[in-house]
Chain A
Amino acid sequence: MNLLSIGISHHTASVDVRERMWLSEQEIRGALTELRDHYFSECVLVSTCNRTELYGITRRPDVDEPALKQFLIDFKGAGDAVQGDHFVGRVAGAAVNQLFRVASGVDSMVIGDIQILNQVKEAFALAKDLGAMGPVLNRLMQSALHVGKRVRTETSICEGAVSVSYAAVEMANKIFADLSKKSALLIGAGETGELTLKHLVGKGIGQVRIANRTREKAEALVASLSGAVVDFDRITEALHDVDIVITSVNSPSAILGPADLQKVMKQRSNNPLFIIDIGVPRNVNPAVKKIENIFLYDIDSLSAIVDRNLERRKAEIPKVNAIIDEESIAFFHWYNSLQVGPTIHELREAFEAIRTDEVGKNINRFTSEDRELVELVTKRIINKILHQPLTALKKGAEDGQGDNETLTRINALRELFGISRDRGALHDE
């Protein structure tokens, strides 16, 4: 199989190297056209912020991998920052495995981040648009999407928040039934606090309020989120009627203590209050935790959730690998079934050619009565010679077991008997 992949990812290169290799849609179009003209019969380029990977069916079996790497580097004009070592090249089974790993999210920077599946989908759509797709990559893409889908439904590798801000939002969803009927107050405007608020907005939180020491900053943020600004010194009053509070203030001591919040809870007739304390040092006195119907989470407890979720995701890797293995076998089974038929056909043709050639050369040495017999006997010999190997080959492909074995046999047969690869069925189609 002439499948080749070359990729640069967070495993092999730092972000400043990776970003040099990132390709826009326009660039991908240009690169794919050139690659197809020179190296590949089918090819696709996946480029995200964490990886740029090229998959393709090479025209010839002996492909110059360094030249391909150099092509990509030159195409981006990134020779000053990127070297060939930053890329990993893979062929056949390893390349299929790599694509499936990418599609399943196990190869993502944050394990289980399955956004990548959409990016893979888009990359294949783009290649199709350019006419760079063929039967093998088409099938490979379908298999990759199938892997992604199975991983999502059969494992929990994408479950559980893996960032502090998402963990907070997930928790909000476990406390409240309908976020659109709830309101959130952000105190201070730290980065994580802002991000948490934005996630809440993304989840459809009903109302947003922001309080900050510098009012202008709050106003700027409010403008982008359509909420209201609250005076920093009137925070406790605002607490009466919000459901979620995010604090991320730079303050040496706690800005909210048990006494304040006990009063607040009375005012809000004990309605549940979820406090996300992202400040370091903490903005809310931990004693507040004891008050009924207040759910207080600080940065440490949220990080603990994230760590646990990551552990849980990691524990799912064996299940994902099993799916990848199954789908790889299925893919190669399909691929081999494509190969076996033509190989048998061509092998018979090659043998038949030798037979007719030899019989033709020597047929005059036989009497006219014997000539028919010679035809018959030589045909029989060839059939008998071919019977055992061809049956074994067919059976191996039908069983679907040892698909790599079948592939090796096909390649060996083709090489030993000099049947050219280019005449394979795939590219005659």
Chain B
Amino acid sequence: METKAVIEILQVLLPLLYGGLVIVYALCFFGDAPVLDRVRTPLIWITLALHIFYLGARTTAFDHPPITSVFEIMTILAMCIAVAYLYLEVKTKTRNTGFFILLLAFVFQTVSSLFIKDLLTIPEYLHSLVLGFHVSAALLGYTAISLSAAYGFLYLMLYHEIKSSRLGVIYTRLPNLEALETMSHKAEVFGFFMLSIAIAIGLFWLPRVFENFSYWDPKLVGSVFIWVLYAAGLAAKRTLGWQGRKTMIISIVAFGFVFLSMTVINLYLSGFHSFH
């Protein structure tokens, strides 16, 4: 089947493209690369165009949008992160954070490409409008908290450089601390809100669809645990007046758990997000 061959090629090509983007942005960040500097933004557009084509091809070839397994979600997530970054780059005209954010898109796409399966038949309950809402909310949420973690990471690096007066390329090229903190915080609040919606829909919908539903399902426990972490972080900022470093660390740690729950729990513990 021809479409399938195209899908297989793109499955290999996309991680390479994202990897290439990461390298190009890194070279521009850590050194002077005037030629690469001109090609990097067009390169994102090309990557995104191919990515959208890939998702479209999957949808038609397998007769369902790629939202039915965590690895299908991951490739969309990679695209969402790249889109969000491109939007920020165009809007704020700062291109120096690309390396760090696109790195996340690269990781998600690579994991997805490695483990994604060609599902030709999916259970009837996945053809559901409620699932659509659940997935959309979760995707927006995950994109936002990925950005939040990336900006948090940048904040910590810059904070460390300024604090220790060892000023290097991070100091020269990154935006200011306050801007990084604001970006991270706003993304976190938005992400938390979206994840809350995703979890609420999930909790409402799951018991109706699965007969063997259990509140002790590892994925559900993981999700709630992550939700609690974010809630605690945001609450600490509100009530304890936590600022800067501490809240950024929480954002990064929570994101670490998100990644773990998406990969480890899905791979090694059977949960409801692995439907087959």
Contact = CB atoms under 8 A, between A and B. Distances in A.
Interface of A: 160, 171, 173-178, 269-272, 289, 292-293, 295, 297, 301, 304-305, 308
Interface residues of B, number: 18
B148 to A, nearest CB: 17
Interface stretch (B17-25, B137-145, B177-185, B213-221): B177-185
B242 A174 contact: no
Contacts of A308: 167
B243 A305 contact: no
A182 B80 CA distance: 35
Contacts of A173: 176
A141 B171 CA distance: 37
A269 B162 contact: no
Contacts of A171: 162
A9 to B, nearest CB: 31
B245 interface: yes
Contact of B162 (A160, A174, A304): A174
A293 B246 CA distance: 10
Nearest to B241: A269
A289 B163 contact: yes
B158 interface: yes
7 contacts: A173-B176, A174-B158, A292-B246, A293-B245, A297-B165, A304-B165, A305-B165
Contacts of B171: 174
Given A177-B176, A177-B179, A270 B242 contact: yes
A270 B165 contact: no
Nearest to A271: B243
Contacts of A174: 158, 162, 171, 176-177
Nearest to B177: A175
B66 interface: no
A222 B178 CA distance: 28
Interface string B256-273: 000000000000000000
Contact of B178 (A269, A272, A289): A272
A171 B162 CA distance: 8
B244 interface: yes
Nearest to A268: B241
A293 B162 contact: no
A270 B241 contact: yes
Given A177-B178, A269-B243, A297-B165, 16 more contacts: A160-B172, A174-B171, A174-B176, A175-B178, A176-B176, A176-B178, A177-B179, A177-B182, A270-B241, A270-B243, A271-B243, A292-B246, A293-B243, A301-B165, A305-B165, A305-B167
The 10 closest A-B pairs by CB, nearest first: A269-B241, A177-B178, A270-B243, A301-B165, A177-B179, A174-B176, A270-B241, A175-B177, A176-B178, A293-B244
A110 B129 CA distance: 67
Contacts of A160: 172
Nearest to B180: A177
Interface in B176-199: 176-179, 182
Contacts of A301: 165
Most B C-beta atoms less than 10 A away, residue of A171, A177, A301: A177
A289 B165 CA distance: 11
Contacts of A297: 165
Contacts of A295: 162-163
A176 B162 CA distance: 12
Contacts of A177: 176, 178-179, 182
A270 B162 CA distance: 17
A182 B181 CA distance: 16
A245 to B, nearest CB: 16
Contacts of A305: 165, 167
Contacts of A304: 165
B165 A272 contact: no
Contacts of B179: 177
Nearest to B182: A177
Contacts of B243: 269-272, 293
Nearest to B158: A174
A61 B245 CA distance: 70
A293 B162 CA distance: 11
A269 B165 CA distance: 24
A140 B50 CA distance: 51
Interface string B107-140: 0000000000000000000000000000000000
Interface string B234-248: 000000011111100
A292 B244 contact: yes
Given A175-B162, A177-B182, A272 B176 contact: no
With a 10 A CB-CB cut-off, give which of A174, A176, A289, A304 has the most chain B CB atoms.
A174
A272 B182 contact: no
